[in-house]
Amino acid sequence: MVSLAGREKVMRTVQYWSRFFAFYLYRRGYSKETIAFWKNLQTQLATSRKLFRIGKPLTHAKLAVAAYANKNEDLLVRLTTIGRQIGYFGYMALDTVMWLHAVRVKQFTPERFGNIQKVAYRFWLFGLVSNLINSSRRYYRASASERALQAENEKDEESAKKVCAEKRAATKQFVWDLLDTAMPLSALKIVELDEGFVGLCGLITSLFGLKQVW
């Protein structure tokens, strides 16, 4: 938890808790001042997290190149891995641009900034959808391997455990990405979702991320 990634994930957890809790307080009729505290905390944490992510586009670019070079991988898994990394590259790159605007290093007109946000969310959604397809494909392949082992009456425990682990990992990643789609879908107004639901989805996936680095 002392790592940069660990601190960023803690901040993300508090950010989405604040988003969820602000909506809860609003629905319960609390004062504007009380709600404003949590909304401001959410905004400040969102801005601070952008600083932590400077440089991430390069990481995703390298991962995209590595996935492209992996000719031995299943074609659909390979293509969707590349798609995910491209999506996150674009999202993180524009995230840095939005941070420059937030700290007043480079200011944009409201219309221009709004367009940057929309493109960033589209990149994020593209990355998430790519990974949903990726997880589905990995689950399908693991299930096929499991059926093959059962049909052949194989008693290779190591292979069986590996297949089960792959199915669990693919299922968890699918749920993770599906919950995360709430954020760009809501921001782009593709689906009308209230702030409480979006905050709760973000909180759950933040806890997934915390567990991963704990």
The answer to whether the beta carbons of residues 110 and 163 sit under 8 Å apart is no
The secondary element (H helix, E strand) that includes residue 27 is helix 4-27
Which residue type is seen at 166? E
* Residue span of the structural domain in which 83 resides: 4-211
Q: Could you give the percent of the chain with pLDDT greater than 70?
A: 98
The DSSP secondary-structure symbol of 104 reads T
Q: How many CB atoms lie within 10 A of CB 64?
A: 19
Does the pLDDT value for residue 212 go beyond 90? Answer: no
Closest by CA to 142, choosing from 173, 168, 157, 163, is 163
Does the pLDDT value for residue 156 go beyond 80? Answer: no
Tell me how many domains the chain contains: 1
Report if pTM > 0.85.
yes
